[in-house]
Structure 1
Amino acid sequence: MKKAIIIVALVFASLANAQKGSVLVAGNIGYYSKNTGDLKSNYFEFAPKVGYQFSENMTVGIEAAIGNSTNSNRNGNTIIEYKENDFKLGAFLRYSQPLAGVFSIFGDLGVGMQSAKSSNNIPFSNDAKGDGFYVGLVPAVGVDLKKGFCLNFSIGGLGYDSLKYDGASDATNTFAFTFGKQASVGISKNF
């Protein structure tokens, strides 16, 4: 898979730098699946962005993410299924710097609000709803393709989020340092 992405990037590569006054449309799609017998974990996320490049190196815009996860665990002879849907909406600031040829590096700083709803198949359990905020910094490398298209590669980032569920006395606060622990491939287009 990695070789195919690199080959596609090199075959279509040409210098097509984003220019001041252009509109950036970008996004990532993520999927994770793990199965052990009848125990399963699945996660799907779609994260689009739209921004305006107001200088040669700076872009500001809005970002969103919609995610869905399902997990199953065994409790005795019973399999309990947990489901969670989450949504994020916020703003981002991107600083980009061209490198030699078709490559560039950039960093996205995003901040916004988030909400989550979780449920399970345990009888008499209630759905849980939560609201909070997030902050994230993601460095990445872009490979410029023809006609303003760019493939974006990142290998993690920094993140902090806070989520408080209804009825809970405390919020769940998460700090994530994921450099080298996750990889992301996205695509963007400047108009």
Structure 2
Amino acid sequence: MPNKNHETDVAFIKALAELLNDNDLTELQVKRDYGENDSLNVRVSRQKEIVTQMQAAPAPAAQMAAPAPAAAAPAPAAQMAAPAPAAAAPAPVETAEDPASHPGAVTSPMVGTVYTQAEPGAPAFVSVGDSVAEGDTLLIIEAMKTMNHIPATRAGTVKRILVEDGAAVEYGAPLMIIE
């Protein structure tokens, strides 16, 4: 019987690898419980070259860096954000610090694809400068064909949106800053 579990585990891991490639993810982690004191922990990952598009006029050359290793993946996600017009002057100072360490950071609770609006053509859930109450939907993360509404963890004003509509995010990646 252990051989049968081994074969199903190998098939399961291959399916996870296909899911990783088909959805353009960089990492997937799953725990499969078979019973008491019997489980399988699987982490499938790959290093992915991240291409960032900087939209600021004079500063992009100074802010561009080589692709980061997989362990530092949340930092490149912050660089993909479109700069806020009101924050144009202090942008170089803000990009130097890690947005995930900001006390008002809302981070991704899962791996998936971000949608900033309920459906194509609909208005965005929130924009920079909007006031939100705790529990308001900020965006949706699609994971395994399930739409997960991501709520505001606190009341405040949306200061920065760090992800683009349709972008892939990883667990713990900063999504936006609420102050």
TM-score (norm 2): 0.29
- Structure ranking higher in helix proportion: 2
- Structure ranking higher in strand proportion: 1
